[in-house]
Amino acid sequence: MSCTSDTHCITCSDEGVSMRVIELLGDGIACCAGADGAPAEVMVDLVGPVEPGDTLLVHAGGCSPNRGRGAAAAMKYVDEYRDAELGRVLAGEIVAIVEPGREYKIMEVCGGHTHTIYKYGVDDLLPANVELVHGPGCPVCVIPMGRVDDAISVAHIPGVIFTCFGDMMRVPGGSGTLLEAKARGADVRMVYSPLDALRIARENPDREVVFFAVGFETTAPSTALTLKRAKAEGTPNFSCFSNHVTIVPPLRALLESPDLRLDGFVGPGHVSTVVGARPFEFIPADYGKPVVISGFEPLDLLQSVYMVLRQLVEGRCEVENQYARVVPADGNPAALAVLEEVFELRPHFEWRGLGFISHSGLKLSAAYAELDAELRFEIPGVRVADPKACQCGEVLKGVIKPWECKVFGTACTPERPIGTCMVSSEGACAAYYNYGRFAREREVV
């Protein structure tokens, strides 16, 4: 049979359409037919094995061969979505709703979202004029090097058992990592939960047990409840080195940043479970930009991007909640109450790549001062400039993409990270390195 499309090359068009495989033509090309029955040649070499009868989402947002291949690669992931057909429909609706010639820049704030986007090729399902920018929502990535050095300094104090989450062990400070400190003799232990750190304190009454607390409002209530229990039961050898941060101040800083133009936000899921939707209302109110709080499945992200685009196209801006099945509008009152009791805002806190941001960090409140490691131990308060070659700051601000960093994938890899964004699996660089186009293009080569 003849397989030609007399109107246009389907892989170069800007459409996202559902097509059925009719015949395999070899060399990674298949003859496919859309709803109108018209045949077209489609590159399928990255979709994995396809057979006549399979349904593919054929979408490409540009004419470069790589883009076409990227789009084909994304198709196979659609079948892994909770509702593959809805995924196809949404991708098609996104293509249909955007205005040609208008550029859309949407920031996904949460590192978990970044992970899903690369893992499931969500960005490859979007038209070329819709760009997802990765924001500063990975808690490990935003820790400045000086705080890691401070942590290492505490870990080396004789008698201290220093506890932290697994991700933090590999984050480089100016003088190495906690993992290296452990190799040099410091008693550094990885814990799953701050409550594990508290148990270690109970089991070692003659040792000082310090918990290295990091994370946004998702994680801070867990530290707060742990401190509350430590205080109530009287575990005097337990203390907390707090590096907790809050999500709103960095977003405001980004919106004030002159070198970044954003059109809207995909808001964080788990953070919003705690804080609710209200804290994000300043974004439409003060900056006229839409926010859609999103779940973590690829379909959630696709739908949230569609909702942001729909607001933009309709000239609206408000906070919408795509993840209402988990995120209550008012957040979690029990979590907010314990945060209020145990923590207070620092006047300012340093963020990796973003500098000092006012009222963005949490320290222990006066009522919990006795459990504050920063008061119990001498903390050097190290300030370390980021390595010159490392561009984590620009990645965190969304000014450059991970692969545009000079050391991405060469000097800086997940095995030997220079910057924080390459450490955590939620970091934009690690997510892109593991799942992104870079890996796919290498496969092609």
- Between residues 225 and 254, which has the closer beta carbon with respect to another protein? 225
Least separation in angstroms between CB 46 and another protein? 18
For residue 216, the minimal CB distance to another protein (Å) is: 9
Burial of 135 (0-12, 13-18, 19+ CB in 10 A): buried
For residues 165 and 83, what is the distance between their CA atoms, to the nearest angstrom?
Answer: 34
Shortest distance, position 372 Cβ to another protein, whole Å: 20
Nearest Cα to Cα of residue 30 among 20, 18, 39, 21:
21
DSSP helix/strand/coil, 39: strand
Q: CA 230, CA 284: separation in Å to the nearest integer?
A: 41
Beta 29-33 vs 39-43: how paired, if at all? antiparallel
Instruction: Cite the beta strand spans of 222-278 per DSSP E.
Output: 238-244, 264-267
- Among residues 362, 312, 311, 370, the alpha carbon closest in space to that of 340 is found at 362
Binding site for another protein (CB under 8 A): 80, 82, 110-112, 115-116, 119, 138-140, 165-168, 190-196, 199, 214-215, 218-219, 221-222, 225, 229, 270, 273-274, 296-298, 325-327, 332-335, 338, 424-426
Distance in Å, CB of 266 to another protein, minimum:
16
**Nearest distance, CB of residue 347 and another protein, angstroms:** 27
Cα 281–Cα 287–Cα 288 angle in degrees, nearest 5 = 80
Per the listing, tokens 């291949």 go with: 69
Q: Which is nearer to another protein, 39 or 139 (CB)?
A: 139
CB closer to another protein, 119 vs 310? 119
Of residues 60 and 168, the one with the C-beta less far from another protein: 168
Q: Are β-strands 208-215 and 238-244 bridged in parallel, bridged antiparallel, or unpaired?
A: parallel
Least spacing, CB of residue 237 vs another protein, in Å:
17
Q: Which is nearer to another protein, 103 or 203 (CB)?
A: 203
**Closest CB to another protein among 190 and 400?**
190
Q: Alpha carbon of 190 to those of 179, 197, 243, 416: distances in Å?
A: 10, 9, 17, 19
In the complex, minimum distance from the CB of residue 383 to another protein, in angstroms, rounded to a whole number: 25
Cβ closest to another protein, residue 153 vs residue 425: 425
